[in-house]
A and B are shown apart, each in its own frame.
Chain A
Amino acid sequence: MAQAVPVLDFHQLNVIYNEGEPNQVHALNNVSAKVYPGEFISIIGPSGCGKSTLLHTLDGLNRPSAGKIYIDGVEVNGPGGDRAMVFQDFALMPWHTVFDNIAFGLRLERKSKSEIQEKVMHYIRMVGLDGFESKYPHQLSGGMKQRVGIARAFAVEPKILLMDEPFSAIDEQTREIMQEEVLKLMLHEKKTVIFITHSIDEAVFLSNRIFLMSVRPGRIVEELTIDIPYPRTLETKLLPEYQDYKSQVWNHLKGEVKRQYQRGEA
């Protein structure tokens, strides 16, 4: 998998909230990693360890207190069309239809009407929402809302998809279906994905590498490569090595959660 040029390279990232004030929080501590094109990376770690902070920083929503982010070798300092985010709470505009929500990024980029029409319809079909384009978010189920969120992200045709617990607000059955769909999409559209989850099963099923984070201040303490070839299906979950990987992740997490308890924070 390791190719010469990483699509995303972040180096010694530090994020400190409310720096210099009494409520200062050191959220990220020297976080570095290289991510190669087409990789599916999951980030897993105890609650409050800085996973969302890391993702928001990579997206450009947070300014790191120190450290650098490179995309294809070029330093970036803010949001850009090369990255797109899928949010845990969907973050759809309630006053926009499904169509207009998916078109959101394209309209901000001032794309032409015909281009918007064509791309939005393409991605509506891709996430299986044909016929729903004039519905409003409050008329949709959680799973459908997140399909809109995913289509909105794909529509700007980013290199890197950043997903912050995208399925945590979705019921278990829909969630399994959507996991498979995201894998298919990612292989088909050749995206690089950074995916945050609390679910060990989800992380092992989707990823080719898992970054395990420590308690706050968050660091990447371990990288685990999941050597199961894609495409993966629900049958993959029956493989013995699948269970091995899961228990490896679980053992790590258990250690970190214990440390959090000992510090009296959980």
Chain B
Amino acid sequence: MSELSKAVTTGSTSIPAKKKRKSMISPAVTYPVITVVIILGIWEIFGQIGMIDTFIFNWPSNIIASIWQFMANGAVFEHLLTSFIELAIGFALALIGIPIGLALGYWRKLDYAFDPIIIALYTTPVIALTPLFILWFGLGLLSKIMMVFTMSIFPILINTTAGVKTTDTSLIKAARSYGATELQLFKEVIFPSSMSYIVTGIRLAIGRAMIAVVVAEMLASTQGIGYAIRHASELFKTGEYLGYVAVLMVISVVLNQLLKVLERKIAPWRF
């Protein structure tokens, strides 16, 4: 019935709606684009009239030229590959936070026991440990992988635990009533119900993982996007420097948006 009425209403309005859509893009898209274009334009003008000292800062057209250059000679892709490998391995290891979080959420006593430690480690700026990690794990990939791991495991773990704890008790009752074993309870109720929390945790963790990689590479490395940023800044190549930062920005925005879409796909009833 409701299906039918929906079909009827969309059917009757579809012709005028389509005509309009040609000239009008959603304001959710046009408004932010306009804001950004205006800001970039003013910034560019300030640069062109000589108000910006390229020794300490730069303006859009120069930044774009630098980006074009390091894309053309492929330098950026080598740095990105290094950073990506560190990030991917460290992140894959941090996914161990999912089973740990499931266990902590399910067995309350385990949670009581470890909660203070986890909260302490999550809230202290672990990034301050980077020099120590470099002493322990060397100048190569390992120290970065370990930093990524340490930075990203906690949001994953904490969100997974929260997901388990917020599992609707009446769903657990229903599953038990229909004869679910402990294992089936996890598979059929607790895990799917925590899934969107887990993805949220992953989204938060990726932000922290990127910080970990960039900071560790800046401190001690000869490759990777963090190294490239530091290197350019040391040579006072501000255009190149800001170009790399822009690349990082674009990557993190895209990743973040993709994961938000995924969250919504996984749990449409939560949004």
Contacts and interface: CB of A to CB of B under 8 A. Distances in A.
Whether A associates with B in a native complex is yes
B13 interface: no
B178 A105 contact: yes
Interface in B137-194: 168, 170-171, 173-180, 184, 188-189, 192-193
- Label chain B's interface by main secondary structure: helix
State which size class the interface on A falls in. 20 to 34
B74 interface: no
B177 A84 contact: yes
Considering residues A56, A94, A95, A104, which has the most beta carbons from chain B within 10 angstroms of its beta carbon? Answer: A95
Contacts of A85: 174, 177
A87 B184 CA distance: 20
B268 interface: yes
B269 A79 contact: no
B247 to A, nearest CB: 37
B92 interface: no
Contacts of B180: 108
A61 B178 contact: no
A136 B176 contact: no
B192 A95 contact: yes
Contacts of B176: 61, 79
B173 A61 contact: yes
Interface in A77-130: 79-81, 84-85, 87, 89, 91, 93-95, 104-105, 107-109
A84 B176 CA distance: 11
B118 interface: no
B170 A81 contact: no
Contacts of A94: 267, 269
Contacts of A109: 179
B11 to A, nearest CB: 19
Contacts of B3: 131
A59 interface: yes
B177 A138 contact: no
B118 to A, nearest CB: 27
24 contacts: A56-B173, A60-B177, A61-B173, A61-B176, A61-B177, A79-B178, A84-B178, A85-B177, A87-B173, A87-B174, A91-B168, A93-B188, A93-B189, A95-B195, A95-B269, A104-B174, A104-B178, A104-B188, A107-B188, A108-B175, A108-B178, A108-B179, A108-B180, A141-B2
